Amino acid sequence: MKNLIFLVLVVAMFTMGCNAFMIAGLLPQISQTLGQPIAITGQGITAFSLFYFISAPVFSVILSNKSFKLIIQIALIVFLLGNLVTLFSKSITLFLIGRSLAGIATGIFTPACLTMAFHFADQSSRGRRLSMIWGANSAGAVFGVPFGLYLASMLNWQWSIVYIISLSMLVFVIFSFQHVNIKLPVMPSFKDRFYLLIDQKIMLVIGITFFVSTASLGLYSYMAVIQSGISHSLVLTIFIWGLGGFIGSSFVGFFIDLTKKPHMIMVLILVGLIFTFITIPFTMNLPYVGLIPFFMWGIFGWAMPTTQQHILFELQDKQGTILAALNGSAIGLGNAIGTAMGGSLIASGLQGIDLPFCSAILLLVVFICQLMLIKNSVGVIIRE
């Protein structure tokens, strides 16, 4: 029964991955429907990210000690409502409300789903379970989004939203008929939660997630600027990046379970990203070879969330839901800050092709912090 529930939640994560990444491709059609420029309609993406960032930690506390089934049902209902509002939007206000509700729903759902994947898996398969969850999310971006955009090109953008609504409704119905009453771990006291937020190791892990997202996802926002003028199309480059992301997020858990050393895997991820970013400007004009760094970027970049989440759960598994929420919020905030920083650098006169070097420099600092975290962890083990 638990395996069936897990499979349903994997489909739900796929659906939410579609929802998060598809709107960007629909903006031209949505802007035409709403009679607004893309710059205004694009704030729907900002609203989604902002409310996801806020709702993830807030609702992890509000819904603490509630049954797992109730939390997932609430998230799916809010998700359905948000997409229904989006579907019938005739004004920018309704559209922003719809995207905000979808962001709130994703913020509620994701931490609960990740916590379930970790706590209700065998000790030897927790990494793989987390990989399946993040892999489903990236699969939504790689495979689900193109299908949704195809529907929009053949019919209109509303049918892409109908596609999302249909998947989420199917998930809600199947999940609601399951009679297993699973509860998430009991929420610790306020005092324990406060100490969580001042725990240096936990905050360092969250900080590493934030800065890696700033460097990687922030750079992704300017993919079109980076690869402008080369022989490979933007669509192909993004697909290769997304394909690498699907592979990285889906399989990193196997290596975590095999080695039992997520800290060292994170070191390899950082080294891989630094090397990848440095090579992009030198290889991008080479036919086909120039796509390899984008593929590796996707692998290493999407392998990061699972690895960091596993490290956090090892540090404090009793507060896994809050930690999952904080880690997800760090990813969203890093994306927003990285995008803003990249825009500022370009506005100041920096060439787009130089942005990968900036990301590599930032990650070099993060790499040093990761080594410090490992050193401190080893020191604690020795003292104990």
CB count, 10 Å around CB of 149? 17
What's the Rg (C-alpha) of the chain? Answer: 20
Averaged pLDDT for residues 277-299: 88
Q: Tell me phi and psi for residue 227, to 5 degrees.
A: -100, 15
pLDDT at position 316, please?
67
Lowest mean pLDDT among 119-133, 140-154, 167-181: 119-133
Alpha-carbon gap, residue 270 to 373, rounded angstroms: 14
Between 292-315 and 262-283, two packed helices, what is the crossing angle to 10 degrees? Answer: 160
pLDDT digits (tens, 9 = 90+) for 70-108: 888 889 999 999 999 999 988 888 999 999 999 889 888
pLDDT in tens, 184-211: 555 554 445 555 556 677 888 888 999 9
Amino acid 41: pLDDT: 76
The whole-number pLDDT of residue 190 equals 47
Which region, left, alpha or beta, applies to residue 313 given φ > 0 means left and ψ of -120 to 50 means alpha?
alpha
b vs e for 84-107, b when ≥16 Cβ sit within 10 Å of the residue's Cβ? ebbbebeebeebbbbbbbbbbbbb
Q: Which ranges of the chain does DSSP label H, i.e. alpha helix?
A: 2-34, 38-41, 43-62, 68-87, 92-119, 126-139, 145-154, 157-176, 190-197, 200-220, 223-226, 234-259, 262-283, 292-315, 320-347, 355-383
Higher pLDDT, 344 or 179: 344
Average pLDDT value for the chain: 79
Domains and CATH numbers, the chain: 1-187 (1.20.1250.20), 190-384 (1.20.1250.20)
Which own/partner pairs from 40-44 qualify as long-range (CB within 8 Å, at least 24 positions apart)?
Answer: 40/92, 41/92, 41/95, 43/96, 44/95, 44/96, 44/98, 44/99
